[in-house]
């Protein structure tokens, strides 16, 4: 496995020189000046399922990776951004539609991305329509629209996107309004910006 952590020499928090230390059975870069430990390289992506009747909103990507492929709208979470804010932002940027999060439907874990040096986690939200008209961003999206699972099963669509749209429709048919983990604000958790998503 590539030792990407060896490329880091200085602490990103306090600037001290990092030292090699045996931590939890591996040599890792640790800062002697503060508590920072370089655990690895990670990215977090979010995707949003927005339904209109029994159709899900999907976009055809205009840029690589996956140019021409249809997916639910989404993208990467910024460093200091809440995942729920990221999915709302990405949905607005890509489609022009303002939404709010309902619940977390799925989490995809991808310990090795294409280059094998980064761990990627992708979180799928169910979203609720708040306002705005469908106006795809031509820079990121070739076209966008609401399609039933039957209509889009012939598309070059990401299997997970199709699956979560199907599941969201199924839950709606069963009368379940917030399937999955929901934001819980009355439980105390530590850390600024921290939010807790938990089963209702």
Q: What is the contact surface with Zn ion in residues (CB under 5 A)?
A: 11, 13-14, 16, 31, 33-34, 36
Cβ at position 6, least distance to Zn ion in Å: 17
- Report the residue number, 14 or 130, with the smaller CB distance to Zn ion: 14
Nearer to Zn ion, 13 or 134 (CB): 13
Q: How far apart are CA 74 and CA 88, in angstroms?
A: 9
Nearer to Zn ion, 19 or 100 (CB): 19
Q: How far is CA 173 from CA 3, 55, 181, in A?
A: 48, 12, 19
**Least CB distance to Zn ion at residue 10 (A):** 8
Tell me the closest approach of the beta carbon of residue 42 to Zn ion, in angstroms: 19
Cα dihedral 81, 82, 85, 87 sign = positive
CA atoms within 13 A on the CB side of 39: 6
Please say which residue, 17 or 200, places its beta carbon nearer to Zn ion. Answer: 17
Least separation in angstroms between CB 11 and Zn ion: 3
Kindly state the smallest distance separating residue 170's Cβ from Zn ion, in Å. Answer: 48
Asked if 52 and 61 touch (Cβ cutoff 8 Å), the reply is no
Residue 10 is given by DSSP the state B
CA distances from 8 to 30, 120, 179 (A): 10, 20, 41
Residue whose pair of structure tokens reads 């995942």 in the numeric block: 83
């Amino acid at each position: 496995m590539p030792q990407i952590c060896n490329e880091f020499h200085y602490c990103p928090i306090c600037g001290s020189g990092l030292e090699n230390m045996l931590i939890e059975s591996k040599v890792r870069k640790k800062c002697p000046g503060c508590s920072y430990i370089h655990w690895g390289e990670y990215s977090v992506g979010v995707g949003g399922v927005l339904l209109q009747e029994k159709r899900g909103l999907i976009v055809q990507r205009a840029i690589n990776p996956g140019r021409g492929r249809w997916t639910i709208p989404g993208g990467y979470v910024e460093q200091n951004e809440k995942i729920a804010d990221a999915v709302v932002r990405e949905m607005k940027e890509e489609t022009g539609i303002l939404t709010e999060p309902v619940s977390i439907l799925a989490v995809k874990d991808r310990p090795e991305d294409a280059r094998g040096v980064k761990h990627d986690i992708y979180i799928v939200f169910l979203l609720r329509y708040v306002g705005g008209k469908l106006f795809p961003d031509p820079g990121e999206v070739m076209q966008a629209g609401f399609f039933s699972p039957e209509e889009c099963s012939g598309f070059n669509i990401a299997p997970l996107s199709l699956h979560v749209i199907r599941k969201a429709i199924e839950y709606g048919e069963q009368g379940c309004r917030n399937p999955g983990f929901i934001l819980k604000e009355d439980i105390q958790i530590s850390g600024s910006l921290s939010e807790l998503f938990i089963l209702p």
